[in-house]
Amino acid sequence: MAMTGSKESASAISVSGLRKLYGRFEALKDVSLTVERGEIFGLLGANGAGKSTLIKVLVGSLKPSAGSVQVLGLDPIKQAQLLRRQIGYMPQVPALYEDLSPRDNVRFFGKAHGLANLERRIDEVLEFVNLRSRERDPVYSFSGGMKQRVSLACALIHAPRLLLLDEPSAGVDPKLREAFWQHFRELAANGVTLLVSTHQMDEAFHCDRVAIMRDGLFLACDTPKNLMRRGRAQISIWRGAEVDRHAVTNYAEQLPGILRRYNLDPSITRVEIEEDTLEAIVLDMINVREAQITPAKEAVDVVHA
Amino acid sequence: MSYTLSRTGAVGERALRQLRHDRRFLGLSLVAPLLIIYLLYVFFESTSSPFFRPTEFIVPVGAFIVHFITFLLCAIVLVRERTARTLERMFVNGYRQREIIGGYLLAYTGLATLQSLAVLTEMHLLFALDYSLDRLLSIYLVMWLLAVISLALGILISNFARNEGQIFPFIPLVILPSIFLSGVIVSVEKLPEWAQWLGRLTPLYYANEVIQALIEPGGSLDDAWISLALLPIYGVAILLLAMLTLRERE
C-alpha cells in the first residue's frame, strides 16, 4: 500500500489548538493531542462531548475552524486522497446499505481501494466479525450489534495503518467485545494505530492512553493506570473491633504517612483500601463544574469540588 | 483513469444491486408513470371532443411524467445516502464526487431507459399514436435524454437537501413550473418575455420543442435540431454543477 508523504512523521496523529465551531456552538475547544504509531488511544466521554467531531476532523469529514491537524503526516483536508488509502473509519452509526448483504457492503467499500485479493480479504474480515454464516442476508434483518460488526468489517477490509473507530463495541455482546479488543491489540502489535471512542469505562483498560472529554475539552489525557491514581481511596485501619477511616486522594503516596502515625502499633489487625473505580473517577471529571474546566494541559489538573 | 472508471463502475454496480433488492422501489418507479398515463387516457376518453386531439398533448405530457418521476426518485435516493451517512463513508473510503455521480448516472440511466420505453409503448398502445417507426424512435430518444437530464437534475437538487423531506419544496420550485413555461400546455410565445426566459431554463422546453416538431404532420428532427443538440449540453452542464456542489464535508 502506498505510504507517500507519511514516512517522515513519527506520530500517527498530531493535533494542536484544534477548534471546531458549528455556527456559534463550539464543539471542540482548543484540543491538542499526539498519538504515537502502534498506540491504542481511547476517547472517553458522554454523548455530545466532542468525540465524534474529533474523529470526523481526523478523517477529513469536517474542516477544522482553527488549529493544525496531521494524520500519518498528512493534512486530512489538503491530502485527503492520500490519507484515505491508509485509514479505516467506522462511524458511530453503522452507515451501511441495509438492503444489501454484509458481503456486498464490504465488497463495495473494498473496491474503493482497488484490492487485488478482495474476495479472500472479505472472507477474512467477515470471519473475524463472526458473520460468515449470515454473509448473504440483508443487513436490515440484523440487530444493532450485528450491524456494528458489518461496519467494523468495512473499516478493516483494506488493512489500514490507522483505524478510527467511533464506538465500535456499542451493542456488541461481551464475548465478541473481548474478541474485538484482542484483535485490536494484535493490530497494534503489528504497528497499526487505533483511536477508539467509547463510553464503556472498562474498555479504557484496553487502551495505552485515554483522553477524557467533556464539552469539547480534554479533561485529562493519561494512561489508565495514571488516571486511576487520580481517584480517591478510603483507608480503613482496624485495631481489634475499632476502625479508623482515612479518606485520601492517592493512597499509594499517602499510606506510608498514615501508617507512620500509628507508630507500627502492634494492635493493628487489618488494613483495608477501597479505591474509586475508573468509572467513578471519570464521572467525577465529566461532572466537574463548568467554572473549573480549563482547556488543554491545565485541564489535567482539575480540582474536584 | 482506470482506477476512476473501476470505482465509478463499483458505485453503479452497487446502486443496481440495491435497485434489484428494493423491488418495491423498482416496481413503483416503473408502474407509477404507467398508471398516470392510463389515468390520463381515462380522462381524455371521458372528455373527448371533435376539437380536441389528445395525441397532441399526450407525448409531451408523457415526457413530463418521466421527467418528474425520474427526478424525484433520483433525488430521494441520493439524499438517503446523505441521511444514512453512507455518502460520508464513501468519501472517507476514497470515492470522489465524479465517481459517485457517474456511478449513479450509470445505474439509473438503465432504469430511465426502461421507464421511457415502457411509457412510450403504453402511449402508443392506448392512444394509437400514428407515427412512423423513425419518428417513434426519435421521440424515444428525446424522452430518454430528458430522463437522463432529470437524473442529473435530481442529483444536483439532492445536494441542497439534508433529508428526504427537504426535496419536496423543490418540486413546486423546479419541476412543476416547467409544465406551464415550457410550451407543453400553452405556446411559449404567448407568455410574457420574462416567463419565456424562465421557460428556456427548463430542460422540458427543449424536449417539448423537439417533440412538437416530431408530432406535427410532416415534421421531422431537422426542424428542431438545435433544441435536440441543446439537450445533452444542458445535461452535461447540470452534471458539472452537481459535481461542483456535491459537498464532501459539512
Contact A135, A107 (CB under 8 A): no
Using CA of residue A171, residue A177, residue A180, residue A184, what is the dihedral sign? positive
Strands A217-222 and A209-214: antiparallel
Question: CB distance A109–B93 less than 8 Å?
Answer: yes
Look at B94 and A93 and tell me if their CB atoms are within 8 Å.
Answer: no
Number of domains in chain A: 2
CB proximity under 8 Å: A 59-78 to B:
59-63, 77
pLDDT of residue A295: 36
Residue A84 has pLDDT above 50, yes or no: yes
For A4-51, the pLDDT digits (tens) are 444 556 799 999 999 999 988 999 999 999 999 999 999 988 888 899
Q: Would you give the DSSP letter of residue A302?
A: P
Task: Tell me, yes or no, whether A133 and A212 share the same domain.
Answer: yes
A138 touches chain B (CB under 8 A): yes
Same domain assignment for residues A132 and A27: yes
Say if A297 falls within a structural domain.
no
Determine phi and psi for A288, rounding to 5 degrees. Answer: -60, 150
Is residue A97 one of the residues assigned to a domain?
A: yes
In chain B, % of residues over pLDDT 90: 67
Strands A233-239 and A242-248, sheet pairing = antiparallel
A100 touches chain B (CB under 8 A): yes
Q: Which of B21, B95, B249 sits opposite A100 (nearest CB)?
A: B21
Measure B2 CA to nearest chain A CA, in Å. Answer: 10
Average pLDDT for residues A110-136, to the nearest whole number? 94
Q: What span, in angstroms and rounded, lies between the C-alpha atoms of A208 and A224? A: 7
Quote the pLDDT of residue A159: 94
Give the type of residue at A203.
E
| A147 inside 8 A of chain B by CB | no
Q: How far apart are CA A293 and CA B5, in angstroms?
A: 51
Q: Has residue A73 been placed in a domain?
A: yes
Instruction: Please check whether residue A302 lies inside any domain of the structure.
Output: no
CB-based contact B17 A100, cutoff 8 Å: yes
Same domain, A101 and A75: yes
Which pLDDT score, from 0 to 100, does residue A5 have?
A: 46
A65 assigned to some structural domain: yes
- For residues A219 and A240, membership in a common domain is answered with no
* pLDDT at residue B122, as a whole number: 95
How far apart are alpha carbons A216 and A49 in whole angstroms?
5
Domains of chain B, by residue range, sit at 2-245
> What percent of chain A shows pLDDT beyond 90?
50
Asked if A97 has any chain B CB less than 8 Å from its own CB, the reply is yes
Quick one: A88 and A15 in the same domain?
Answer: yes
ipTM over 0.90: no
CB atoms within 10 A of CB B57: 16
A146 and A249 inside one domain: no
Do the beta carbons of residue B248 and residue B97 sit within 8 Å? Answer: yes
Q: A167 with A65, same domain?
A: yes
- A162 and A54 in a single domain? The answer is yes
**B161's grid cell:** 437537501
Domain boundaries, position A59: 11-226
Query: B172: which DSSP letter?
Result: I
pLDDT for the residue numbered A82: 93
- CA distance, residue A189 to nearest chain B CA (Å): 24
Overall pTM > 0.90: no
Check whether residue A255 and residue A109 sit in a common domain. no
Residues of B within 8 A of A139 (CB-CB) are none
Interface subset of A 111-130, CB within 8 angstroms of B? 111-114
Strands in A25-36's sheet, in edge-to-edge order, are A25-36, A11-22, A66-71
Residue A66 lies in a domain: yes
Question: Does A292 reside within a domain?
Answer: no
- Verify whether the Cβ–Cβ distance A99 to B21 is below 8 Å: yes
Q: How far is B84 from chain A (nearest CA, A)?
A: 6
